[in-house]
Amino acid sequence: MNDKTFVWCIFLALFSISSSWAKSVENDVNKITTNEVASSKESTENNAANAEEELTPKDQLLYFTLVAFRDMSLEYVDLAANISESLLTDEDLQPNQSTTIMEFRKNITQFLEQYKKYDGIEELFNLVDFYSNTTSHYFELTAETSAADMLKIKEKLDKYGSDELDREFENLFMKFGEQFCQKFDEYKSKLSAEELQQEKVMFDWLEEFKSIQNAEEKIFSFEKFFRFYEE
C-alpha cells in the first residue's frame, strides 16, 4: 500500500459524508465551514460546544470527527503550501528545464492559488486531496525506470519534507484515534441496552478499530466509521 492512498481514501469518504450531512444539519456544519472560525481557537471551541449540544450523541461523534479532520487538514495544507513555495523557487525546478517540470510547476501553482482563497471545510478537504494527487506518484519512482526530470522532482519533494508530511498526518491521526475512542465510549455509556443492541455493528467495529496498532491500517479501517452515517 503506498502511503498516499490512505489520504485519498479517507478524504473521498469525508467529501461524501460532509456534504450529505451538511444538508441534514445545515446550521451546525456552517459553524465549522468558515475560515474565521478555523483561525480563532477560542471561538472554534465555543461554537463547537454550542453546536454540539443541539445534536444527538451519535451526530456529536461525527461532528467531533469532522472538527478534528478540519484541524488536521489545516495543518496539512499549511505545510504543503510551505513546501510548494520552496519547490517553486528551487533553481533546479525552473520552467525551462523540461515539460514535465513545467507541468509539475503548473500543478503546484494551482494548488497554491486555491490554497490562498479556499473557503469552507469541503474546499479544505479538496485541497488536501489535490496536493496528495499532485505529489503521490513520485514517491514510488525507482531510479531504474524513471526519467531524470521525474527523479529530480522526487528528490526535491524529499528535500522539502513532502514525505514527512504524510508521516505527520499519520501521527495526528493516531492522536485523534485515542480521543475518538474515548468519545465513542462516552457515547456508548449514554445508551440503553436496547439502543446498544441496535448499534451493535458500530460497537463491534470500534473494538476492531481499537485493536489496530498500525497507522495505515487504522486509517483504512476508519473509513468504515463514515458508512454508519450513510443514508
Binding region for ligand NAG (CB under 6 A):
79, 82, 86, 94, 96-97, 100, 103-104, 107, 126, 129-130, 133-134
Cβ–Cβ under 8 Å, residues 55 and 28: yes
Cell of 52: 454540539
The least CB distance from residue 37 to ligand NAG, in Å, is 21
The least CB distance from residue 153 to ligand NAG, in Å, is 7
Half-sphere exposure of 16 (CA within 13 A, CB side): 14
Cβ–Cβ under 8 Å, residues 22 and 125: no
The least CB distance from residue 4 to ligand NAG, in Å, is 10
> How far apart, in whole angstroms, are the C-alpha atoms of residue 142 and residue 174?
30
* Closer by beta carbon to ligand NAG, 5 or else 221: 5
* Closer by beta carbon to ligand NAG, 103 or else 185: 103
Contacts of 200 (CB under 8 A, 6+ apart): none
In Å, the largest CA–CA distance within the chain is 68
* Closer by beta carbon to ligand NAG, 61 or else 124: 124
The least CB distance from residue 94 to ligand NAG, in Å, is 5
* Closer by beta carbon to ligand NAG, 95 or else 175: 95
**According to DSSP H, which parts of the chain are helical?**
5-24, 26-31, 35-39, 41-53, 57-89, 99-117, 121-135, 148-159, 162-189, 193-198, 200-211, 215-227
* Closer by beta carbon to ligand NAG, 48 or else 165: 165
* Closer by beta carbon to ligand NAG, 128 or else 202: 128
Q: What number of other Cβ atoms are within 10 A of residue 155's Cβ?
A: 14
The least CB distance from residue 66 to ligand NAG, in Å, is 18
Q: Tell the residue number behind the cell numbers 485519498, with chain if given.
A: 8
The least CB distance from residue 113 to ligand NAG, in Å, is 13
